[in-house]
Chain A
């Protein structure tokens, strides 16, 4: 199984809502990542988890809160987002930091 599964595929939320994005992998990878990608731009690294501990936070606003409950799961909790946060959110995993990464299909988020 070389899949990274992200749910939901699409999400529309209001600026006062609280929602969560989920990411799951069963490849035994110990590094997991969240990226944000706007249209026609490259993916932008947000967070890196290594062995279930947050190792990189690329100065992401606190309205984005990552969580790694176990080695297979990665969540991104969203609260009080702005319309400019609308984007494709990608999750990835790798055996350890910076080896070949496998990406999920992403969650298309629209903030209204």
Chain B
């Protein structure tokens, strides 16, 4: 399984852009990178998934460099409601490892 390393926590202020980086040095050729968000006492929620370069949706962008050994989740103009734990998952799109969670990053957004 590709192991992921994320910062344990990050702080930001409302309106700022937040970038959370995930390191996955032993990512395999077929592995995808997926990010989930989790609020306390709720199930995780899918944010975004990518394989290479850049992926953007209505809530976030995912930047993946050419070597794919890391990825960065970008949240534009965060609000207080973005305070949550963010998980980076790496694995095959057809193998169960994509749903094996690492430690996650606790993002705290302050006024």
Contacts and interface: CB of A to CB of B under 8 A. Distances in A.
**A pairs with B:** yes
Interface of A: 4, 33, 42-45, 48, 55-56, 88, 90-92, 94, 96-106, 108
B43 A104 contact: yes
A33 B99 contact: yes
A4 B98 CA distance: 19
B41 interface: yes
27 contacts: A4-B43, A42-B87, A42-B102, A42-B103, A43-B44, A45-B101, A48-B99, A90-B44, A91-B43, A94-B99, A97-B94, A97-B96, A98-B93, A98-B95, A98-B96, A98-B97, A98-B98, A98-B99, A101-B99, A102-B46, A103-B43, A103-B45, A104-B43, A105-B41, A105-B43, A106-B41, A106-B42
B43 A45 contact: no
A65 to B, nearest CB: 20
A55 B96 contact: yes
Contacts of A45: 96, 99-101
A90 B87 CA distance: 16
Interface string B74-98: 0000000000000100011111111
Contacts of B100: 45
A68 B62 CA distance: 35
A62 to B, nearest CB: 21
A108 B95 contact: no
Interface in B34-61: 34, 38, 41-46, 49
B101 A43 contact: yes
B92 A98 contact: yes
A27 to B, nearest CB: 13
B104 A42 contact: yes
| Best-buried of B46, B96, B97, B103 by chain A (most CB within 10 Å) | B96
Contact of A90 (B43, B46, B98, B104): B43
